[in-house]
Structure 1
Amino acid sequence: MNTTPAPRIAIIGAGPGGLTCARILQRHGITATVYDRDAGPDARNQGGTLDLHADNGQIALREAGLLEEFFQLARPEGQEMRQLDPAGTVLFHHVPEMGERFKPEIDRGQLRDLLLNSLQPGTVRWGHTLQAISGPDEGPRQLHFANGSTVEADLVVGADGAWSKVRRVISPAIPQYSGVSFLEAWFHDVEAQHPDIAELVGQGGAAAADGDRGLFAQRNSGDHIRVYLIQRAPADWITAGGLTPQNTDGIRAVLLERYRNWSPSMRRPISDNDGLYVDRPIFALPVPHSWEHSSTVTLLGDAAHLMPPLGVGVNLAMLDACELALALARHDTVDDAIHAYEKTMLPRSTEMAQLLDGAAEHLLSTQLPDFSAQGNH
């Protein structure tokens, strides 16, 4: 970036996309500040495990100078995948080759820490919940936060996920419910406490479906397994049934009835979980999703192209972040950089979104061609 003075870049959201963008910018001598609503880096659980692909997520980590550190943390054995039927019969089993590193698994928390620790101190400003953005399209923009502070920026990058506040400035699009809902269940100390489930899942993931219901189980680091129970149901099915998310026994009873035709071994990942279930209805942005170009605002990741969780979300967010950062490093103005970035990102995300449009339904199909594509929940 050759402009003087240097543009003031505000990235909203300290997820993998926002942090990757800040890291690559810093490697090119460009300052950016990341604002996140969480009170701190440990304010909440970062979620399960994900696979970073050689053709997108790993490209971003290479540009960030973190690829070798990633491989030291990642679990290549997590690429193992089993597809089962509701009786527990193995229909498909992929065991990764020795040295296979196309899409090794890493816990979301570990990836976030890797990125956070690579940034200059003070890059992330915690406790900043964005409420509104004002100012003309040509800039500067004013960011208004819930804590009463206001920040001026020449570029606002929306890396703030599915319900992005930044997106509202340039797009009226709102995520729509897919008709498919996930319910997340956690299992801890699995080798000792849940050996049958550990054996069922293996070192990677295991999936099953009967046409109306599905299950995807995935090993995390630290002897944990997360299971995602997949149903075609109203988004509010728990409260509509007179239950609350805290009513674990009540939800469990409903699930055991719905999965009653599955074998006892396949019902254990449904009913033997440690702690609460976590309700995760699946939303997606309309396809295609684009917006009128702004010279001061752009989006990346789920803020730009929320899709069903089929193994691409974080990978695309990190690739977006990489390409935006490189565009800012290589162009003389922010506006030119945004044009260059969106010229590549929008067609790519549209193509992928069209491929995955309605694909949440595929998670329930008995005809799944290759569940090894899953892994980004």
Structure 2
Amino acid sequence: MLDPASAALLKHQPPSAAGGRPEIDRGQLRGLFLDSITKGTVRWDRAVSGVTPLTDGTCRLHFGDGTAEDFDLVVGADGAWSRVRPALSQAAPGYTGVTFVETGFDHCDTRHPDLARLVGNGSMLAKGVGRSLVAQRNSNGHIRAYIAVRVPQDWHAAAGIDLGDQRAVRTHLLRMFDGWDESLRYILRNSDSGFTNRPLFVLPAPHTWEHVPGVTLLGDAAHLMPPVGLGANLAMLDGSDLAHALVTEAGVDDAVRAYESTMLPRSTEAATGSAQGLDHLVPAATS
């Protein structure tokens, strides 16, 4: 953690000697999962438009091409804007008031050595009131950076900025971080990739539903929360718990009930903690 005005080190938390918090790039994790299953298991180009629970306890998937298929169990693992969720809940994600603007740096150790030293081998955070800079070292010499700001969702429209005009976005962001140390503003001036606007949305917490046979949710589809390091881990834990229940319980419906009885309370606790984490990451102004 660095001081925004001077880039002086405020806090350093080295990795534990036991290596208790390993990290992996999302794309590599996705590759591991896909490579571990039989080819053809994943059916690409079959976008789901919606689901209909049936009276016999099964569930019908409706596809974008107009076709439909019935399944014993449909697991909505389709993220923030889930097409499966409406079968269980009318809850919709709401804007948190915080937007991440993402950018990146390639070959950081040779092309951006000062930034590489600033970030180190893990993550770097510099935060002020209503705005923060976060940078994380990824594999293959890449640094991913987020400009985190408390702004209206349409901040760019209010500022008269076309998000496709990268120069205008850069100029506006530099103005927002006026007075910050130049070694930190380097993130705004010299990124290799463009700026991607990512407004943060969350589901209400707690987000629960009455059990419906034949369908359930996991991951962001079930408990979308601020991205402070829990989302992917929870999704994998959800999947593991559901798989274990399907193997050990007497039937599919019993398994889903057992899974939901564990997942829903856990996700409520995690969502509350993640909301607090976002407030810590991007502090709001106090009156």
Q: Give TM-score, length-normalised by structure 1.
A: 0.73
- Paired position in structure 1 for 2:127: 209
SS in 2 for 1:93: coil
- Paired position in structure 2 for 1:294: 212
Residues 1:191 and 1:137: Cα distance change in structure 2 (over 3 Å): farther
Matched, 1:92 2:8: no
CA contact (8 A) 2:50 2:62 kept: yes
State how far apart, in whole Å, the 2-side matches of 1:314 and 1:333 are.
27
State how far apart, in whole Å, the 1-side matches of 2:20 and 2:113 are.
29
Q: Deviations over 1:176-222 (max 9, x none)?
A: 10001100011111112111111110111100101221011000100
- Paired position in structure 2 for 1:351: 269
- Paired position in structure 1 for 2:103: 185
Q: Alpha-carbon deviation of 1:355?
A: 2.5
Matched, 1:158 2:76: yes
Residue 12 of structure 2 aligns with an amino acid whose one-letter code is: H
Q: Give TM-score, length-normalised by structure 2.
A: 0.95
Q: Alpha-carbon deviation of 1:324?
A: 0.3
State how far apart, in whole Å, the 2-side matches of 1:323 and 1:363 are.
30
State how far apart, in whole Å, the 1-side matches of 2:69 and 2:33 are.
24
Q: Alpha-carbon deviation of 1:358?
A: 5.3
State how far apart, in whole Å, the 2-side matches of 1:252 and 1:201 are.
21
Residues 1:91 and 1:321: Cα distance change in structure 2 (over 3 Å): same
State how far apart, in whole Å, the 2-side matches of 1:354 and 1:264 are.
35
Residue 364 of structure 1 aligns with an amino acid whose one-letter code is: V
Q: Alpha-carbon deviation of 1:304?
A: 0.6
Residue 91 of structure 1 aligns with an amino acid whose one-letter code is: L
- Paired position in structure 2 for 1:221: 139
- Paired position in structure 2 for 1:236: 154
2:186 maps to which of 263, 268, 271: 268
Residues 1:137 and 1:160: Cα distance change in structure 2 (over 3 Å): farther
- Paired position in structure 2 for 1:247: 165
Matched, 1:339 2:263: no
Residue 299 of structure 1 aligns with an amino acid whose one-letter code is: L
- Paired position in structure 1 for 2:244: 326
- The answer to which of 133-142 and 254-263 deviates more is 133-142
State how far apart, in whole Å, the 2-side matches of 1:242 and 1:261 are.
23
SS in 1 for 2:11: strand
2:28 maps to which of 106, 110, 116: 110
Q: Deviations over 1:123-156 (max 9, x none)?
A: 1011111112124254332211112332211111
State how far apart, in whole Å, the 1-side matches of 2:33 and 2:168 are.
40
Percent identity between the two aligned chains: 48
CA contact (8 A) 1:287 1:357 kept: no
Q: Alpha-carbon deviation of 1:161?
A: 0.6
State how far apart, in whole Å, the 2-side matches of 1:281 and 1:360 are.
13
Q: Deviations over 1:268-300 (max 9, x none)?
A: 012211121111111110111000101111000
Residues 1:115 and 1:217: Cα distance change in structure 2 (over 3 Å): same
TM superposition outliers: structure 1 runs of 4+ over 6 Å: none
Residues 1:322 and 1:362: Cα distance change in structure 2 (over 3 Å): same
CA contact (8 A) 2:53 2:213 kept: no
Residue 156 of structure 2 aligns with an amino acid whose one-letter code is: I
- Paired position in structure 2 for 1:284: 202
- Paired position in structure 1 for 2:230: 312
Q: Alpha-carbon deviation of 1:122?
A: 1.2
Unaligned runs of 5+ in 1: 1-82, 367-377
Residue 146 of structure 1 aligns with an amino acid whose one-letter code is: G
Q: Alpha-carbon deviation of 1:310?
A: 1.1
Residue 191 of structure 1 aligns with an amino acid whose one-letter code is: D
- Paired position in structure 2 for 1:167: 85
CA contact (8 A) 1:246 1:276 kept: no
CA contact (8 A) 1:137 1:294 kept: no
Residue 302 of structure 1 aligns with an amino acid whose one-letter code is: D
Residue 357 of structure 1 aligns with an amino acid whose one-letter code is: A
- Paired position in structure 1 for 2:282: 364
CA contact (8 A) 1:173 1:286 kept: yes
CA contact (8 A) 1:181 1:280 kept: yes
Residues 1:168 and 1:137: Cα distance change in structure 2 (over 3 Å): farther
Q: Where in structure 2 are the equivalents of 1:7-26 lying within 5 Å?
A: none
Unaligned runs of 5+ in 2: none
Residue 96 of structure 1 aligns with an amino acid whose one-letter code is: P
SS in 1 for 2:133: strand
Superposition RMSD on alpha carbons, in Å?
Answer: 1.4
